[in-house]
Amino acid sequence: MIDTKQKILDSAERLFGEQGYGATSLRQVIAEAGVNLAAIHYHFGSKEELVDAVILRKAEPVNRERLEMLDRLEAEAGDRPVAMEQILEAFLAPAVSRVAANPEFSKLMGRLLGEGMMPAVVDKHFRHVGMRFVKAMAKTLPELSPVELGWRIHFMIGAMAHTLCAQPVQFHTGLEMEDGQAVLQRLVAFLSGGMRAPVEQISRIEVK
């Protein structure tokens, strides 16, 4: 069939999402897709390149939406910097809003950043979008050095990835997964506070 490739991608997306990358075998994928094992290697080359293709298909709309939102915010702001909360929401909303529609696959997206699986894949699919947001944030917070801003964005990505992929630890009852909009609001508020934190020296505690 002409759409063997599509069927493989569809099955792989579902199974990687439900079970994770490592726990999903290519034999499960071909059984669900109704194709031959070697077809995966013909079309994609390896398991890693298959998941790369799956990620690409899902990441592209997220990244496009992020850039559209940022474009609009910057057009509205003209020469003035965009508010940090708005930049954060433009970056986070396209990812968080997809959790409800496809929670298992969102888990895989979130995991990518935490796993040593494929830093190259993350870099390839998200770096260019990240650069745009770095520039917007630097304009909003000119007092931060590039290095300090880089670290804060690193922390931001960690908080986002963990929120996308991990169930919160139940230190209290009532922390079940809420409405995506509510989590997004909490995350934006938290990260705005972190991004705007003063950079001065903090109190030291000697260890031991």
- In the window 7-26, what residues touch a second copy (CB under 8 A)? 20, 22
Q: Which of residues 15-44 bind DNA (CB under 7 A)?
A: 24-28, 35-39, 41-43
Size of the site for a second copy (CB under 8 A): 77
Q: State yes or no: residue 152 binds a second copy (CB under 8 A).
A: yes
Q: Between residues 53 and 117, which has the closer beta carbon with respect to a second copy? A: 117
Q: Does 139 bind DNA (CB under 7 A)?
A: no
Q: Interface residues for DNA in 48-87 (CB under 7 A)?
A: 48
177 binds, among a second copy, DNA, none (CB under 5 to 8 A by kind): none
CA distance 138 to 68: 19
Question: CB–CB of 13/105 below 8 Å?
Answer: yes
Residue type, 13: E
Question: According to the binding rule CB under 8 A, does residue 110 interact with a second copy?
Answer: yes
First to last CA, the chain: 67
User: Cβ contacts of residue 61 below 8 Å, gap of 6+?
Assistant: 94
Closest CA to 105 of 116, 114, 95, 117: 95
Contact between 138 and DNA by CB under 7 A: the answer reads no
**DSSP per residue, 154-200:** HHHHHHHHHHHH-PPP-SSTT-S---HHHHHHHHHHHHHHHHT---S
163 forms part of the interface with a second copy (CB under 8 A): yes
CB of 41 to a second copy, least distance (A): 20
The residues binding DNA (CB under 7 A) are 1-2, 4-5, 24-28, 35-39, 41-43, 45-48
